[in-house]
Structure 1
Amino acid sequence: MYPPHYGNNPLFPNKKDFQVVLKNHVSGMGVVTYRAFAKGDLICALAGDIITDIRQHSLQIEPGVHLYDIYFSGYFLHSCAPNVELDMKNLRVYATRDITPEQYLLMDYAQTEDVLFKQFPCSCGAENCRGWITGRKELPYADAVLPNGFRLPENNFDEYQSI
């Protein structure tokens, strides 16, 4: 899936096991797996360009340093109940629960991002859905409209609470 200039790491994702597809016009593109993974499994290694600015499809490695991956991980969809976790120090992806073939790889964007490229209302449908997705160190936009049934916590902006 990665171009040859990133090398030939056998842990890189391949077209036999994964595909980037259009989920719908709300969620956009996502990564589907064609094989099963058990909770805790190493799914793959990541590659991309190291950049200093926040872009769509970039993932934060550390403050001011981002991985720009327009071939694979930049298309992981968000879920408040993710099925993958990213180890950004070692550029690895692990299963946080069992994943069956034809499922999307889902991450919580707040796991890696201090500030998102663009905040958005969440439509993941998880029981613990936060309703509005931000980076872990940012407040919602002043004009953010939370979906019905959600409100901002009064003193703690780390998590949104369902009414």
Structure 2
Amino acid sequence: MAAQELNEAQLARRDWMSLLAKAPAAALARRWGGLGLAPEFDWLRAPEIGAVMVRGRAGGTGAAFNLGEMTVTRCALRLAGGDVGHAVVQGRDRDKARVAALVDALMQGAHAAAVRRDLLEPLRAEIRTQAEARAARAAATKVEFFTMVRGED
């Protein structure tokens, strides 16, 4: 589905699912613990570990090619209220997948504002701060090369 065909709710869900998948497990667990929520749920698909094929494109626009496999953990659950949450996270972390699926389900219900305010936005800010610090460390090692013109034509 092309991005222009997605509605606002789908784009918002894509955004928080991406954030949950990319978040460090320790940061997600810490933020989740701070919420104090323990919703009851039933597994639709218990956390299972598998592999997905990662595809790439030369220069971002060339023909697609298989880059290699990546280990992922996926799960799906249903809250007592009926909201369904899904998660696919990199690696073999069943607990991170469970928490991500719970957050996904809660974001579709009455707790969405609190979860966004107390978990997603602080997590996004923490990840952004870490990325900026990493970029600053990398920029400190940048070497500028230049060529001096010798006056000859």
TM-score range for the pair, normalised by the shorter chain length: under 0.3
**Structure with the larger RCO, 1 or 2 (CA within 8 Å, 6+ apart):** 2
Q: Which has the larger radius of gyration?
A: 2
TM-score by length of structure 2 reads 0.24
Q: Which has the higher helix share?
A: 2
